[in-house]
Structure 1
Amino acid sequence: MKYSTLTLCGLLMLTSFAVQASNFSAGGALAVSDPGYRNMRTEVLPVPLINYEYGDFYIHSLNAGYYLFRNSENDLSLTTGPGTLRYTPSDSDDSRMKQLDKRRLSVMSGITMNNRFSLGTLRSSATTDISGNSGGTTAEMAWLCPLRSGSLVLTPGFGVNWHDSQYNRYYYGISASEARRSGMRHYSPGDSLAFSMELSAYYQVNKNWYLTSSVKATELGGTIRESDMVGSGGSTLFVAGAGYNF
């Protein structure tokens, strides 16, 4: 299956934890993503890892934000960045999928909150599309539990994701005209609620260099799995790379 470079923006949540020892770090990673679409060709893609903070402004990979409030236990920020889905018909090996309309990337903007406790961190976010592509809204809540051993930090987590019907219709719906062209079933999904699991690893090689990797698996909601565009019951994202703290 082939994965759009833009689907890899989902790694932003998985790699931003790499800002550990410096206000500025840069590096690169390789990523593989499966959004769950039917018969898409596999591709490994390069992704920049850039983390920078200046006052309350920050850049985490491809995501920019501004802290409205933060202390050692909590932070709340406004954030803007690319979404996680795009569909290009020519990328599919399925003749019916090739007849569908192109689904463009959404630019998602909203709020992100982190609440840190002795046993872990609660991460919450709510974003809406400001590009006019999907026009949809998404929300996520996840519990992350960092486990430290010397220079190694392993962070398992699990969460719940919500997508509204407008978001789902754009990326997984099949219009009447598409159905006539492709022979697929006309479908208009509603809201969806799904669960995800993730595991991140961070290793501080020395004062400056670090290694990072992460994997996230998300169950596609039932209303999404019923779409003829979907070839599996879940989506996955894997990324591994290295960076330098300045």
Structure 2
Amino acid sequence: MSLRSPALLRPLLCTVALSTPLLATAQDQEAAPGVQAGITIGATTGAYAHYDDKPLVVPALAWQGKRFFASPGSLGMHLYKADGLRVSAVVTPYTLRFKTDDVNDAQLRRLHSRQMSAMAGVNAEYKADWGIVGASVQREVSGHGGGMESSLHYSYPIQAGRFTWVPRVGVVHSSARLLDYYYGISNEEALRSGLAAYRPGSATSPSLQIAVSTPLGSKWRATGVVANQWFGDAVKDSPMTRDGSQTSAFISLMRAF
């Protein structure tokens, strides 16, 4: 069996962990160079307690060259491609954010907002008849503490007529510095809000998701993804959280040019 998971699914799968997943291109990154454009709509719930989760609507643009590539989920450069193995240097968005204007709790509204971050690192992926194994190591580079995140996942694309289904299981390890920015509460914030001060340690979080993609004519492709992540103790113990998991759902419509 030839495993060709649409690249539209891969950057999303790589960022499903504590960040909100994003959709990438509808074409395999090993396909002919080209440009795709479209729109992505989705939402994530459960990341923070008493939070008004709003849908995320973003334009989607992707480009694939022989060495460099761009997608809604990453900017990168292929470092090595041979015998089913691909290694790339990438910059990706870490789209988790906490805006006090969207909080429905008086204490949480007195905390500082947490912004989206940029991550840079290396992704590796190996494809064989038995499935696809991927791993990544990335560091926060946008001035929000410089934390690290690493991931390991396995997926198995299933072709069923015009539909490509991609179930995936994975695990993500997030460093204490990364989690402190998004889930920590400083002493100053504790005094102002009345919440307990909190400094999280590192956490390992498993995830499960299913993605489906189908062409719509010769130029268009639609993709949907539903994912769930179960938080590690360092996240679950934060006064900023209520549930032990978060759920994300995204739909993307892309056109090839």
**TM-score under structure 1 normalisation?**
0.91
Give the CA deviation at 1:150. Answer: 2.1
CA distance in 2 between partners of 1:96 and 1:163 (Å): 26
CA distance in 2 between partners of 1:154 and 1:138 (Å): 27
The match for 1:108 is: 119
The change in CA–CA distance for 1:59 and 1:9 in structure 2 (over 3 A counts) is farther
Query: Among residues 19, 24, 30, which one is paired with 1:16 in the alignment?
Result: 24
Q: How does 1:1-246 map to 2 (within 5 A)?
A: 10-12=20-22, 15-16=23-24, 18-20=26-28, 23-34=34-45, 36-71=47-82, 73-246=84-257
CA distance in 1 between partners of 2:218 and 2:58 (Å): 23
CA distance in 2 between partners of 1:92 and 1:180 (Å): 19
CA distance in 2 between partners of 1:147 and 1:72 (Å): 21
Matched AA of 2:223: T
Deviations 1:144-185 (A, max 9, x none): 110001221000001000000111111101111111111111
Q: Give SS of 1:10's match.
A: coil
CA distance in 2 between partners of 1:130 and 1:175 (Å): 21
Deviations 1:86-125 (A, max 9, x none): 2111210110100101212221000011110112111111
Unaligned runs of 5+ residues in structure 1 are 1-6
Matched AA of 1:94: D
CA distance in 2 between partners of 1:58 and 1:72 (Å): 20
CA distance in 2 between partners of 1:240 and 1:94 (Å): 30
Q: Give SS of 1:11's match.
A: coil
Matched AA of 1:212: T
Matched AA of 1:228: P
Deviations 1:3-36 (A, max 9, x none): xxxx997333xx3362236532111121111252
State the Cα RMSD in Å.
1.8
Unaligned runs of 5+ residues in structure 2 are 1-15
Contact 2:133 2:152 in 1 (8 A): yes
Contact 1:19 1:51 in 2 (8 A): no
Contact 2:168 2:210 in 1 (8 A): yes
